[in-house]
Amino acid sequence: MTRSVWLKADDEVGDWEARKRRITAGLEAGVDWVLVDRRDVGRVRDLGRVNVAAFAGDDVHVMDAETDDTPDPDAVVVGKGGEGDGTVDLPSDLSGSADLTTLRRTDGAGGAYVRILDSEYESFAEAAADEADYTIVVGEDWQIIPLENLIARIGEETDLVAGVQSAEEAKTAFETLEIGSDAVLLDTDDPDEIRSTVEVRDESEREHLDLEYATVTDVEETGSADRVCVDTASMLEHDEGMLVGSMSRGLFFVHAETADSPYVASRPFRVNAGAVHAYVRTPGGETKYLAELKSGDEVQVVDTAGNTREAIVGRAKIEKRPMFRVEAELENGDRIETLLQNAETIKVATEAGRKSVTDLSVGDEMLVRYEAVARHFGEAVEESIIEK
């Protein structure tokens, strides 16, 4: 599931300057959607690139684009000033609902906005989910039970967007019933809270890897080869690095160059990853050859506990350097290997701690990621492939 953060920025926030400040903070933080009144769609697009949803209001976007000068939003949301927010009473028979009728008539992507005032509004949200691409539900006192009910009942027919006012509430929404809402609608002016909510979104999507130790069985000089330094557009932490290796089933943890040394200054954005033929793990559990990496690509950054995040490649730097071949054996008897530059600044994670590749010895325990799978164009496949 891909999570997203929506930011509420309609006229309830204040005048345009207040709305603009909130939207700008959202764009800088990396929100996915901005929810505004229809008249602000063009203004938001002028501020930056983001998905824009607009409350339908009285003009419900069934309008003819040729006669309407206001830019089309990416989604039209029905419910503000209507049945969804309690302005108009719910009909006893939902087949007569004006909001649901409007949803059915809406061109393009449609959304429903529902304040959960009581159990009847829960039922209304369920009915709206049958018609809406996005179902936005806002609890009056952030009640978990209504959200649990809707997650359990709605299924996959709509994207469920939970109204929140803080990153902590967003975390709860993403974790409810271990499934969570698809998105959150954040209502706050605090730039720090907006950034924190985006971080919660990112953390909820990140993969966690089970890493293990393999015993070094051989370290030998192999002569010179073309090696790749992966310079990312992010500052990496001391316990972070990348997973690289000559065999797709077994990748070695190589530290980022975050440590100072007597030889060169630290390069906390860089991983000296190995020879051009080696694999590097990328987001989504795929791999690429180091030689393929170029500016703008995404790579997976991993820490020694197996937590992951994504980083953009700023530059892939290929130079001829002397290399080591490192071989290690797993508990199951399988052996994996890789080529790493023969230099004191290249560090790997061992059971005894961070260690230079030049100090590696037979018997050392190196941190690795092992997957008994074959790969075809970087994707795991059920196929017998021999790598040696």
For 149-162, b where at least 16 C-beta lie within 10 A, e where not — what string?
bbbeebeeebbbbb
Q: Fill in the amino acid letter for 72.
A: D
Taking every pair of Cα atoms in the chain, the longest distance, rounded to a whole number of angstroms, is 81
Cα dihedral 47, 181, 109, 205 in deg (nearest 10): 60
Q: pLDDT tens digit string along 241-297?
A: 999 999 989 999 999 999 887 778 899 999 999 999 999 999 988 999 999 999 999
For position 66, what pLDDT does the model report? Answer: 39
The whole-angstrom separation of Cα 25 and Cα 303 is 29
For position 242, what pLDDT does the model report? Answer: 98
Q: Give 208's DSSP letter.
A: B
pLDDT bin (cut points 50, 70, 90) of residue 376 is: very low
Q: pLDDT tens digit string along 35-53?
A: 999 999 999 999 999 999 9
Of 123, 118, 80, nearest to 99 (Cα)?
Answer: 80
The whole-angstrom separation of Cα 110 and Cα 104 is 8
User: Which H or E run includes 299?
Assistant: strand 298-303
**pLDDT of 87 strictly over 90:** yes
Of 50, 81, 76, 45, nearest to 63 (Cα)?
Answer: 76
The whole-angstrom separation of Cα 131 and Cα 95 is 12
Q: pLDDT tens digit string along 198-249?
A: 999 988 888 899 999 999 999 999 999 999 999 999 999 999 999 999 998 9
Structure tokens at 187: 């209502």
The whole-angstrom separation of Cα 62 and Cα 78 is 12
* Phi, psi angle pair for 59, to nearest 5°: -95, 5
For position 65, what pLDDT does the model report? Answer: 42
Q: Fill in the amino acid letter for 232.
A: T
pLDDT bin (cut points 50, 70, 90) of residue 148 is: confident
Reported pTM: 0.74
**pLDDT of 370 strictly over 90:** yes
For position 67, what pLDDT does the model report? Answer: 39
**pLDDT of 378 strictly over 80:** no
**pLDDT of 307 strictly over 80:** yes
Q: pLDDT tens digit string along 103-123?
A: 998 888 999 999 998 889 899
Q: Which residue has the higher pLDDT, 318 or 140?
A: 318
Structure tokens at 185: 């609608």
Count of CA atoms in the C-beta half-sphere (13 A) of 336: 27
Q: Name the average pLDDT for the chain.
A: 89
Which own/partner contact pairs does 351-359 have at CB distance under 8 Å and 24+ positions apart?
Answer: 351/213, 354/255, 354/259, 357/324, 357/326, 358/324
* Phi, psi angle pair for 15, to nearest 5°: -75, 180
For position 28, what pLDDT does the model report? Answer: 97
**Cα Rg for the chain, rounded, in angstroms?**
26
**pLDDT of 88 strictly over 60:** yes
Q: Give 257's DSSP letter.
A: B
For position 377, what pLDDT does the model report? Answer: 46
* Phi, psi angle pair for 127, to nearest 5°: -65, -40
**Residues 304-324: what's their mean pLDDT?**
96
Under 8 Å between Cβ of 202 and 309: yes
Residue 17 neighbours by CB distance under 10 Å: 8
Q: pLDDT tens digit string along 13-39?
A: 999 999 999 999 999 999 999 999 999
The whole-angstrom separation of Cα 112 and Cα 128 is 6
Which three-class secondary structure state does DSSP give residue 372?
A: coil
For position 373, what pLDDT does the model report? Answer: 61
**Residues 331-348: what's their mean pLDDT?**
95
